[in-house]
Structures are given as structure tokens and as C-alpha cells.
Structure 1
Amino acid sequence: MGVRMRLTAVETVHDEGSWLFTVRDRHGELEEILLVPCEDGVEAWINRCTHESQRFDTGNGAAMREGQIICPKHGSMFDSCSGYCDNGEAAETTLPSVDVAVDDGTVYLTDDDVNYLHDGGIDENEDEDDGPASTSHLSF
């Protein structure tokens, strides 16, 4: 097993309904991961519907109802514990999972196929230089 990265408390995920963080996968691609409550613990899923890659959490938390993650585009519902969908456009599919572990109420990322980058969603400017676009003192 690789390095464990502390993410958040199980209690936080249960209180907030979901919790989002960003990783880089083994191919160098950025990916959002969604932690959701599951019975006494949490599960981690890639933050997109299997039907049309619609994000579940766009920055305000994922829509959840009775232990299911709801796709905001077509309403498909995924079991938060198994990731399986038995209805709507995404029926008969399962969300891709990410390995996490819970130890003494704390959630750790344990998946060797991804590297933790930061809490929250993908920053649209992640790969851009933060420096000025021009070194001129003149503005137009």
C-alpha cells in the first residue's frame, strides 16, 4: 500500500452530505472525487455520471436522497454504498470507485492509482501560469 493521505472526518461527510476533492490519475489527468456517506462510513466515487459524464457535485455538494446520488441531468440514481444504478439513462452501470480507508473517524485516500492535489473541485486555471499576461505598465 502507498502513502495514506488524510482527507477529512467521516462526520464531516455525513453532516455535509458529500465532500469533493481533486486528484491526478496515473495518466496525468485531473479527476474530481466525491466522498459520500455510506452506512457507518464513506465511499469514494469519480464525480461524474456514467451516462454522459455529468458532474454530480458542481461546487455546491451532490444531490442526495435516501442513500442515493442523483444525476442532476437525467435523474439517474446511484446507490451511495455500491455505486450501482438501476434506473434512468445510466441503468445497469456502476460508478468508478477510488480506494479510501477510515481509521478512528478519519478518511484517508489509499488508492495508489491517483495522487491527491487539493480539497474541492478542479480549478479551471490549474495548468495556467499565475503570472501577468503582459509586463507592460500600460493598459488599454
Structure 2
Amino acid sequence: MGTLGVIRAFAPVLATDGRGDIVNALFALSWFATAGTGAYAAAKSATWNMTNGVRLELAPQGTHVQSVLFGVAATDLATDGYTGPMIDAREVPRRTFDGLASGAIVLVVDETTAWVKQALAGDRAELYTQITDKLGVS
């Protein structure tokens, strides 16, 4: 509810200007879960869908809403003990601004998340087997 509260607080200001952008940083875990990430993945999944709804609600006032999705950004906090694929943390804002400039509403900024997005169209049992193999998580 915190993300929605912040959007609700800023939406009237953006409406007054008649333009503006809202960017929600989400993660590949918006689309799948692993052992130990259930509650976090559920929260990100809910935020993913809330972002889609807010995008439709705010479009008439000229506010552009973008979802930015990525796996793990290489930071001290996120990578402690993690050895799977990571994106350079500096690339996330760079690609986000490029996405805003192009008008993207959903921006996937790393190869792992692009792979997850593509795999969602297939068999979920196969997806989870591949997640275990590719990301080294269960």
C-alpha cells in the first residue's frame, strides 16, 4: 500500500502540470517465486498489477506510468552471498531514463528478466526447472 500511497500523493501535482512520469521499480520476482521469497514475490506481483491499473487511471491526466523490471542489481545489499546473474546497478537508472524517453510502459533491463518474461508463455513446470538450473535457486 505504500507505493500506491505515494502515487496518490503525487498524482494531483502531476495532473496540475498536465504531464509527468511515475516509475515503479519491480523485479523479476513479480512474475515467479522461489523458496523463501513467497511473501516478497507476492508483494511485487501485487505491485506489478497495481502499476498496470494506475497506468490506466492516470493516462487521461497525461501521467506516464512505467514499470521497470530486473533481476538482481549488483549492490552490497543485494549480492551478499548471491552468485547468480546480476546487472550493474548503474545500468538500471540509465536504461530507465532511456525507456522513459522512448515512451516504454514496461521496461525489462536485464537478460535474466527478459528470459523469465519469455519463459512465462511456456509450461510453468518447465519454467521452474529452468529457474532452478539457470539461477541456482529452488
- TM-score norm. by structure 1 comes to 0.25
Larger relative contact order (CA 8 Å, sep ≥ 6): 1
By percentage of residues, which structure has more strand? Answer: 1
By percentage of residues, which structure has more helix? Answer: 2
